Amino acid sequence: MDRGIKSLKEGARIYFIGIGGISMCGLARLAAGYGFDVAGSDMAPSERTEDLARSGIRIYNTQIAANIDEFAPDYAVKTAAILPHNPEVAECNARGIRVFDRAEFLGLITDSYERVINISGTHGKTTTTSMTTLIMMEDGADPAVHIGAEFDEIGGTVRQGGGFNLLVSEACEFNRSFLHFRSTTAVITNIDHDHVDCYPTIEDVIDVFAKFLDKVDDNGFVVVSGGDANSARAVDLARRNYESSGRTFPTVVTCGLAGSICPETGKAPDFAAANISFEGGLPVFDLLYKGETLGTVSLRVPGRHNISNALNAAAAAYLNGASPEAIVAGLNRFSGADGRYTVKGKYRGATVVVDYAHHPAAARATMEAASNMPHNNILVVFQPLTFNRTKLLFEDYVTSLLPCRKVLFAEIFSDREINNHDISSKDISDEINARGGDAEFYEDRKDLIARIDELIEPDDILLILGPEDIRTLGDELVRD
């Protein structure tokens, strides 16, 4: 009996509502590669929708019932941002056309592959997924790939791969999406309190990650960063869930620093980094597996957090057949995914770097990474993502950004909430200044750029942190 994507009607017509989204555009490409007839709509034309159109996928720049009438899909897929009263969704419902949520459709894809590496975590999952992909390709595997960012090595956000042998996929916890995904290898990079509109407390986050592990095949693997206490709690909770249902818990594989003890096992990490040093600000370390050296890794991406990402990627790849030589070669070749410490170029002699680090913990890690790179001064531009997150993590935002020599704030960005005008980036800026820091708030982008012009000097690093809305500033400056 066919399962997953193979259970859909052969050659079916599939319509993607919100096709320009970073994940949706990739899923549309995968669907076309599986032999389906694909079209979709998006109210905001972009480079992604233009690329889809050039590949032969029909794009509608309106969302009206007539599009469904014209394309006559067998199935539709919608993003979480599409509301039930959307005209295309309503028309599909009226016609009895099944509408999948994006996560449900990706779940169908995970059900189709013999082996599935799902990489989850509050921070680092895009980088770890990209690293794992590159290692498997270096080893000669032909994986299908789904990543939540552009990755030059695969020419976009997805890779079709050969057959249905191996899928490497980024697994996001937002809106409990990853509970639709089957895994044979599940990676948890770390667990922090995030997506507060879905998870009011850290306990809710830990619980959903434990439920994610419930979807791992009994004979599969769970890879965790051994120094992360919340990940250890999720593993322990998931193990108890398995035991209560009479299932055998997957093999736990830990990653961490040599000489440390992992709370998941009470033992040294299976994959470890030893003899860590920094050359030109970039990490160099010996990669160990069960105490034996597999090789020396010289990363091309900065930051101690990327040592952790590399260990997780090495473990996931090794458990799926990659050789030590391919692991080291892949990690040494990896130069980053788009929007993850991406060097955009020079502006007035300063190096412009953009990063998706919108969460306080991610901001700390990225600023630490920048501090190790050659520089004069670091000027930080920061935009928080979503009002609810900013309110709940307000103190963390203040303490993470307080040490900055200078931080310039743009207003909070959110495309899925109503602005009640009860929180602003200015509130963070004011509190930082009240505690002796140096922050400024700019509501107008032109004023922000003018202030950057006043402050920036040659050999500085201009670090632009936050969602795509602010990261586009990097491109604007470099083009000037």
Residue with tokens 């990739």: 26
Could you write out the DSSP letters of every residue in 193-204? Answer: S--TTT-SSHHH
Q: Residue 449 is which amino acid?
A: I
Closest CA to 15 of 1, 5, 28, 4: 28
In a domain, 106, yes or no: no
Sign of the alpha-carbon dihedral angle for 173, 179, 185, 190:
positive
Query: Are 196 and 292 within one domain?
Result: yes
Q: How far apart are CA 373 and CA 292, in angstroms?
A: 30
What's 95's domain CATH number?
A: 3.40.50.720
pLDDT at site 440: 96
Q: Which residues of 161-171 are buried (b: 16+ CB within 10 A; e: fewer)?
A: beebebbbbbb
Confidence at residue 226, expressed as pLDDT on a 0 to 100 scale: 79
What CATH number does the domain containing 365 carry? 3.90.190.20
d(CA 158, CA 144): 7
128 and 256 part of one domain = yes
> For the chain, what is the domain count?
3
Domain containing residue 231: CATH number: 3.40.1190.10
Q: Are residues 134 and 274 in the same domain?
A: yes
Q: Is residue 35, in this structure, part of any structural domain at all? A: yes
Q: Could you tell me if residue 474 is inside a domain?
A: yes
Q: How confident is the model at residue 82 (pLDDT cuts 50, 70, 90)?
A: confident
Same domain assignment for residues 246 and 358: no
Residue with tokens 């667990």: 191
Asked whether residue 288 is assigned to any structural domain, the reply reads yes
Same domain, 261 and 120: yes
Q: Are 190 and 236 in a shared domain? A: yes
pLDDT digits (tens, 9 = 90+) for 466-479: 998 999 999 999 98
User: Does residue 5 lie in a domain region?
Assistant: no
The rounded percent of the chain whose pLDDT value lies above 70 is: 100
What is the mean predicted confidence (pLDDT) over 411-419?
83
The domain boundary, picked from 43, 78, 101, lies at: 101
Same domain, 211 and 311: yes
Residues 131, 138: Cα–Cα separation, whole Å:
10
2 occurs within a structural domain: no
| Per-residue model confidence (pLDDT) at position 63 | 95
Asked whether residue 238 is assigned to any structural domain, the reply reads yes
DSSP 284: E
Q: pLDDT class for 379, splitting at 50, 70, 90? A: very high
Q: Could you tell me if 433 and 316 lie in one domain?
A: no
How far is 401 from 386, CA to CA, in rounded Å? 17
User: Based on the domain organization, do 329 and 388 belong to the same domain?
Assistant: no
What would the pLDDT profile of 95-141 be if each residue is shown by its tens digit?
Answer: 999 999 999 999 999 999 999 999 999 989 999 999 999 999 999 99
Q: 60 with 175, same domain?
A: no
The pLDDT value recorded for residue 341 is 87
Separation CA 60–CA 162 (nearest Å): 30
Average pLDDT over residues 449-455: 95
Q: Report the 10 Å Cβ neighbour count for 478.
A: 15
Q: Which of 76, 101, 126 is the last residue of a domain?
A: 101
Domain extent for 48: 11-101
Query: What mean pLDDT comes out for the span 175-184?
Result: 94
Q: Which residues partner with 170 through β-bridges? A: 119
pLDDT tens across 344-365, in order? 999 999 999 999 988 898 898 8
Give CA–CA dist 70/14, Å, rounded: 13
| Pair 260, 392 in one domain | no
Has residue 44 got a pLDDT over 90?
no
Does position 417 have pLDDT exceeding 80, yes or no?
Answer: no
As a whole number, mean pLDDT of residues 417-424 equals 84
- 133 shares its domain with 32: no
Q: Averaged over 305-312, what is the pLDDT?
A: 96
Per-residue confidence at 340, pLDDT binned at 50, 70, 90?
Answer: confident
Q: How many helices (H) and strands (E) does the chain have?
A: 16, 21
Region 58-80: mean pLDDT is 96
Indicate the residue among 312, 333, 354 that finishes a domain: 333
Q: How many CB atoms lie under 10 A from the CB of residue 44?
A: 11
Domain assignment present for 415:
yes
Residue 432: CB atoms within 10 A of its CB come to 23
Long-range contacts of 179-182 (CB under 8 A, 24+ apart): 179/103, 179/208, 179/211, 179/212, 179/215, 180/103, 180/104, 180/106, 180/107, 180/110, 181/103, 181/106, 181/107, 181/110, 181/116, 181/118, 181/212, 181/215, 182/107, 182/110, 182/111, 182/116, 182/215, 182/217
**Is 319 a residue whose pLDDT tops 90?**
yes
| Per-residue confidence band for 480, with pLDDT thresholds at 50, 70 and 90 | low
Kindly tell me if the per-residue pLDDT of 1 is higher than 60.
Answer: no
